Structure 1
Amino acid sequence: MRRGWTTGTCATAAAKAAYQALLTGTFPDPVEVTLPKGERPAFALALEELGQGFARAGIVKDAGDDPDVTHGATVIASVRIAPAGSGVLFRAGEGVGTVTRAGLPIPPGEPAINPVPRDMIRGVIAEVAALFGASGDVEVEISIPGGEALAQRTMNPRLGILGGLSVLGTTGIVRPFSCAAWIASIHRGVDVARAAGQLHVVGATGSTSEDAVKARYDLPEMAYLDMGDFAGGLLKYLRAHPVPRLTLAGGFAKFVKLAQGALDLHSARSQVDFAALALLLERAGAPAEIVAEAAGANTAKEVLDRAEAAGIDVAAEVARGAQAAARAVLRDAPVDVEVLVVDRAGAVVAHRPFDAEGAA
């Protein structure tokens, strides 16, 4: 599959082109940058503007075959000369967020331009300054038109990044479906919750299960970590960075897989073991006929519907297994776990409470 480029890489290339144009009056097009591991891609400019005391360049982000919300967005860098000795100053333009909470790699009040993209931008500014005999004291404003709306489809609002997107990237390259960005967002969510003193966080597989938790608890938005399919990404990080209480909420099929030991719950990366699910039915007291049907079922929902019609509480066994699997990943970390199994209509069909509430 085709790889792409991070917002950080695009911002770096745009900043390099804009600074060179500010010093020379001419935009390099294409513009080449060096990535953290030494690769040197080149980018065509989608925007060139040279004005009184500033230059602006833009690059259309190509995320390759990754389903990135910023694919096709224009990343723009505006560069102005700053006072002597200032170095590189970063500003958030249209569509780039501002950090408002502690716990992120960038302190509150700063533009949401992450450390590696900042280093990359500083690097190209120094490169151009050395080439043309300039000081390298500049103000770099990064903007992404439409970014504020796009940010609503990311974890930024929950992380306290307001007003737009983050400028991200550690390698400069987007690898299709690597899942790294989502897992990194989960980790930053835990960091923000811990820094704010939050004692209870939620990992939900989707909006329906998250809504079920919201109906039960009055928790701040930062408590919801948007786990999605990445149960392992959340649990392993909490093992090293614990929060006292964790609510896991998800659909029956997802939590069947968690109970069976899967930590990535996506259908492309883990499947329901129907033979094992049949054993859970047997443990729940199902008659042999229903157990046999489950072993040959097509979907987990089919098993749940048949069990509920017969008065068999197989969801309780799934919740028990999911809680045990989560505890096994957490090991001895001081994290108390409860589990909610939620059906497609949003009803809680099974609940395993926190230890403090008497789980058996």
Structure 2
Amino acid sequence: MKQSAPPLRRGWTTGSCATAAAKAAWLVLLGHEPPASVTITLPSGQDVAFSLCQYGGTPDAPCAAVIKDAGDDPDITHGAMIRCTVRALATGAGLVFKAGPGVGTITRPGLPLPPGEPAINPVPRAMIRTALTQANNGTLPDAEVTISIDHGQELAKRTLNARLGIVGGLSVLGTTGIVMPFSCSAWIQSIHRGIDVARAENLPHVLGATGNVSEKAGQALYDLPDMALIEMGDFAGGLLKYIRHHPVPRLSLAGGIAKMTKLGQGCLDLHSSRSRADMPALAQLAAQHGAPDTLPELIRTSPTVAEAFLLARSHNFPLGEVIAHAAWAVAHKTLNPAPVLLDILVFDRSGTLVGKADGPFTP
């Protein structure tokens, strides 16, 4: 009998790790022995304990460090050293956050914090305020908190930070304090922030793409700046629903044949594990749009959309155009009633445009 796989292990956000390090460093500043572990309170009210891996700094500016454990989530910061240095400020100065090495600085409007601020998001800031208040006998101290992430500048190259206008390193993120394994939330949040930046910059045209090939091809087609590019991946619904409430003047959606087929069939999550192309439905769609007599049956029995597309090409049937119009209808319905000009771009694996739609299908 086949045994079920063990449940995936949850982890901790960068913000939670920074909070634990900040609390430990403040306790040292108050004269306590460096604790082996500290307990922090998550936004949900749950208390969790973190082990400290390293101490340093000076008596006036102690530093504590936590190694991030992202659980079973494929997080690029899993195993990263999150450091926090604290020092007391003059009475009335409040709590001041600084970006140390490996933490980025915001340079563009549209993000939750204004340009010039360190990329330490509001929820981690609130968690740190709570933790320092706990460590300081119930009173929020006047203090400077500097967060650093070892190798953060290198790791940031694998994120969307540069496109969002965050330079110099990573963002300190987290809305719940917990990383859910293979969670979609972080990616969808990056989509939302990309749209916010584009709106703040008054960009007239935004491109959401499912992958690198379609993004580069769509960018070249319209000569768009990097800031206008939204890496939506499989989360077409996350992008469309956000734009419905936060409109941009014009939106292009670009993707490969298979993913755009799934969008045209009503799937807003395009990941292979969560949606599949319906080949009989694709065959029926081709027949409705004048496919040669034998082609619909060939499409119906094709194992993949890619093979169906090759068959359609051999019959001189514009399946890419049909797919584009079907995807446009679903995307347009999802955007409604937002006043957004919409077009769909379908590319093959080489980046060649094989289908385009900017309105309802007309024979």
- Where in structure 1 are there 5+ consecutive unaligned residues? none
Q: What is the rounded CA distance, in whole Å, between the counterparts of 2:29 and 2:334 in structure 1? A: 54
**Does the 8 Å contact 1:92/1:111 carry over to 2?**
yes
Residue 55 of structure 1 corresponds to: 62
Cα shift readout 1:322-347 (whole Å, capped 9, x = no counterpart): 01111000112110111110000111
Amino acid of the structure 2 residue aligned with 1:214: Q
2:189 corresponds to 1:167? no
Residue 91 of structure 2 corresponds to: 84
2:293 corresponds to 1:288? yes
Amino acid of the structure 2 residue aligned with 1:8: G
Residue 232 of structure 2 corresponds to: 227
2:104 corresponds to 1:104? no
Decide which of 36, 42, 45 is 2:49's aligned counterpart: 42
Q: What is the rounded CA distance, in whole Å, between the counterparts of 1:135 and 1:41 in structure 2? A: 20
Q: What is the rounded CA distance, in whole Å, between the counterparts of 1:315 and 1:283 in structure 2? A: 14
Q: What is the rounded CA distance, in whole Å, between the counterparts of 1:6 and 1:327 in structure 2? A: 35
Cα shift readout 1:234-280 (whole Å, capped 9, x = no counterpart): 00010010001001000000000000000000001100001111012
Decide which of 254, 259, 262 is 1:254's aligned counterpart: 259
Q: What is the rounded CA distance, in whole Å, between the counterparts of 1:309 and 1:250 in structure 2? A: 22
Q: Counterpart of 1:249 in 2: which secondary structure?
A: strand
Residue 10 of structure 1 corresponds to: 17
Q: Counterpart of 1:350 in 2: which secondary structure?
A: strand
Aligned residues: 356
Q: What is the rounded CA distance, in whole Å, between the counterparts of 2:110 and 2:57 in structure 1? A: 38
Decide which of 200, 204, 207 is 2:212's aligned counterpart: 207
Tell me which moved more, 319-328 or 214-223.
214-223
Residue 192 of structure 1 corresponds to: 197
Q: Matches of residues 139-150 of structure 1 in structure 2 within 5 Å?
A: 139-150=144-155
Q: What is the rounded CA distance, in whole Å, between the counterparts of 1:272 and 1:149 in structure 2? A: 38
Q: Counterpart of 1:10 in 2: which secondary structure?
A: helix
Residue 160 of structure 2 corresponds to: 155
Residue 143 of structure 2 corresponds to: 138
Change (3 A) 1:84 1:354: farther
Q: What is the rounded CA distance, in whole Å, between the counterparts of 1:208 and 1:229 in structure 2? A: 14
Amino acid of the structure 2 residue aligned with 1:146: H
**Does the 8 Å contact 1:280/1:314 carry over to 2?**
no
Q: Counterpart of 2:145 in 1: which secondary structure?
A: strand
- Where in structure 2 are there 5+ consecutive unaligned residues? 1-7
Name the Cα RMSD after superposition.
Answer: 1.6
Q: What is the rounded CA distance, in whole Å, between the counterparts of 1:255 and 1:272 in structure 2? A: 9
Residue 5 of structure 2 corresponds to: none
Shift of the alpha carbon at 1:354?
6.5
**Does the 8 Å contact 1:9/1:172 carry over to 2?**
yes
Q: What is the rounded CA distance, in whole Å, between the counterparts of 1:331 and 1:89 in structure 2? A: 43
Decide which of 300, 312, 315 is 1:307's aligned counterpart: 312
TM-score by length of 2: 0.95
2:97 corresponds to 1:94? no
Q: What is the rounded CA distance, in whole Å, between the counterparts of 2:306 and 2:274 in structure 1? A: 19
2:116 corresponds to 1:116? no
Amino acid of the structure 1 residue aligned with 2:155: L
Change (3 A) 1:135 1:256: closer
Q: Counterpart of 2:18 in 1: which secondary structure?
A: helix
Q: What is the rounded CA distance, in whole Å, between the counterparts of 2:235 and 2:137 in structure 1? A: 45
Percent of aligned pairs sharing the same letter: 54
Cα shift readout 1:202-223 (whole Å, capped 9, x = no counterpart): 1000000001112112222111
Q: What is the rounded CA distance, in whole Å, between the counterparts of 1:204 and 1:135 in structure 2? A: 45
**Does the 8 Å contact 2:325/2:359 carry over to 1?**
no
Q: What is the rounded CA distance, in whole Å, between the counterparts of 1:331 and 1:233 in structure 2? A: 14
2:197 corresponds to 1:180? no
Q: What is the rounded CA distance, in whole Å, between the counterparts of 2:180 and 2:337 in structure 1? A: 34
- After TM superposition, the runs of 4+ consecutive aligned structure 1 residues lying more than 3 A away are none
Cα shift readout 1:142-196 (whole Å, capped 9, x = no counterpart): 0101111211221111111111111111110011122011101111111111111
Change (3 A) 1:359 1:284: closer
Residue 337 of structure 1 corresponds to: 342
